[in-house]
Amino acid sequence: MKKIQVNSVDTTCQADSLLDLLIELGYADDVVATAVNGDFVAQGNRVNTHIKEGDRIEVLAPMQGG
C-alpha cells in the first residue's frame, strides 16, 4: 500500500497507474481531469503514469463558475 494525497487528503492505494487509481477510487465513469504533483496528466497518459509513494494527485470535475 502506497501513501498518497488525493485532492489534499491523505490516503493509501494499491494502484500502479493513475488510470487504475481512478478506478480504485471510484471515478471510473466520471468526467474528470487529473494532475500529478501539480502537472496536468491527459486522459491518454493516465495508463502509463506510474503512482509513487507520496504523490499528490488532483482529480477535478466540472463545477459552477462565473
Per-residue cell: 60 = 477535478
Q: Is 55 in the site for another protein (CB under 8 A)?
A: no
Three-state secondary-structure class, residue 38: coil
- For another protein, the binding residues in 15-44 under the rule CB under 8 A are 25-27, 30-35, 38-40, 42-43
Closest contact distance (angstroms) between CB of 46 and another protein is 11
Please give the Cα distance from 49 to 59 (Å, whole number): 14
**Using an 8 Å Cβ cutoff, are 17 and 51 in contact?**
yes
> What are the residues binding another protein (CB under 8 A)?
7-8, 25-27, 30-35, 38-40, 42-43, 58-66
